[in-house]
Amino acid sequence: MNRIRRIIVTLAGLATAALAFTAASPAAFAIRVPPPGGAASGTTRSVPWPKTAPAPAQAHTVVIGGMPGWQIALIAAAAALLAAVLAVSLDRAWAARRHVSAPSS
């Protein structure tokens, strides 16, 4: 029974990971599609006037927002402290439940 439960939990974890990947993939694989017609399709203008200025180059910033480094360090330190406190309390609770048997003589 334990083996079946472990397999079910593993499959549920893989299904959750696949769902998270598919939810994030549309933004990751987005491409810029040029409008139909226009200069991208290889057609030339038949009328030389009015000429339009070329589109300015777009500058993309690497990071628009985000967390400062001190906040990330604070969160990491708090998570480490919480994990240490939880590990010590679980160890003490486990040690208290252990039955100490008297040595037989």
- Asked if the structure places residue 61 within a domain, the reply is no
- Asked if the structure places residue 45 within a domain, the reply is no
AA letter at 81: L
Distance CA 89, CA 96 (A): 11
Count CB-CB contacts under 10 A for residue 35: 8
- Asked if the structure places residue 41 within a domain, the reply is no
- This prediction's pTM: 0.35
Residue 83: domain span: 67-97
The residues near 90 (Cβ < 8 Å, ≥ 6 apart) are none
Q: What is the mean pLDDT of each run of 10 residues along the chain (105 residues)?
A: 86 91 73 66 55 67 70 92 94 80 64
- Asked if the structure places residue 62 within a domain, the reply is no
- Asked if the structure places residue 27 within a domain, the reply is yes
- Asked if the structure places residue 72 within a domain, the reply is yes
